[in-house]
């Protein structure tokens, strides 16, 4: 029965969140649940759906399991899953796993009255990257991207791979967001770029004064310093809500002013 204006509207939505077992993914899933939404969490452990997004089989598992769990209809996808290892797996998860998540679940989004999608990128997208890795990603050539990543590991220890994966996914978002498959289907698609996020991985460095100073030299965050995972989670939640009708193709930094600190010139020139 259709609700009349005098009746309360049921606003609960179904979200898919990858990387839901920890960090930003866990914070996002928890926030959505506190607001009454259903969350289908995906991770390599401790999640509703167990899937390794570095592999084709894992991506197939994700697509099939979400279809079954959701009944073929979801309202939003938030791709958070990522790794920061100086190894090819960073490319296969952060870029190809994220793209596969969004592309494979897009057919389920179109049944929603307000479909939305978002990806977690990173402030590091502004740092030094490997052009060969980035271009292979954007061409959709996973084998070539892995080969380029292996070359980078042999050359310099793969220190640019994380930034390269995030640069590539940010460029993909800007390109895909205005394509007919997303824009004409009415699906806003955006990326959020956190700065330093407090986590089990970063906490030891932040607790050491020398390491903290060195980290903040690379990623200066004059507004409140490193953030809790809840900060990017709040923005991800809004970007994938019905309230967002026109923001698309954006990479929005949640970085305490790091971007503004380092790119001080006229970025619009």
How far apart (Å, rounded) are the C-alpha atoms in residues 95 and 233? 20
The DSSP bridge partners found for residue 49 are 42
Sort strands 49-50 and 189-194 into parallel, antiparallel or unpaired. unpaired
**Which candidate in 15, 96, 123, 162 is catalytic?**
162
* 3-class DSSP assignment, residue 82: coil
How far is the first Cα of the chain from the last one, in angstroms, to the nearest whole number? Answer: 54
* Cβ atoms of residues 177 and 183 within 8 Å: yes
Q: Is 162 designated active site?
A: yes
Residues in the chain: 269
How far apart (Å, rounded) are the C-alpha atoms in residues 205 and 221? 15
User: Among all residues, which ones are annotated catalytic?
Assistant: 162
């Amino acid at each position: 029965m259709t609700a009349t204006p005098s009746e309360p509207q049921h606003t609960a939505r179904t979200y898919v969140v990858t990387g839901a077992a920890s960090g930003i993914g866990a914070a996002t899933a928890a926030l959505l649940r506190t607001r009454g939404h259903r969350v289908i969490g995906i991770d390599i452990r401790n999640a509703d759906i167990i899937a390794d997004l570095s592999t084709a089989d894992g991506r197939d598992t994700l697509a099939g399991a979400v279809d079954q769990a959701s009944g073929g209809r979801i309202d939003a996808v938030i791709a958070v899953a990522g790794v920061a290892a100086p190894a090819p797996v960073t490319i296969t998860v952060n870029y190809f796993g994220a793209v596969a998540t969004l592309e494979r679940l897009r057919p389920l989004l179109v049944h929603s009255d307000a479909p939305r999608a978002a990806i977690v990128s990173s402030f590091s997208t502004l740092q030094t990257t490997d052009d060969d890795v980035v271009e292979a990603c954007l061409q959709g050539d996973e084998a070539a991207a892995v080969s380029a990543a292996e070359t980078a590991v042999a050359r310099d220890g793969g220190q640019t791979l994380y930034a390269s994966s995030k640069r590539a996914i940010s460029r993909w978002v800007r390109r895909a967001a205005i394509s007919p498959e997303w824009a004409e289907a009415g699906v806003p698609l955006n990326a959020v770029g956190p700065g330093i996020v407090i986590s089990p991985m970063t906490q030891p460095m932040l607790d050491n004064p020398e390491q903290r100073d060195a980290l903040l030299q690379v990623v200066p965050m004059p507004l409140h310093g490193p953030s809790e995972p809840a900060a990017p989670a709040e923005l991800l939640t809004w970007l994938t809500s019905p309230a967002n009708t026109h923001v698309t193709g954006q990479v929005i930094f949640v970085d305490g002013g790091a971007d503004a600190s380092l790119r001080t010139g006229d970025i619009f020139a």
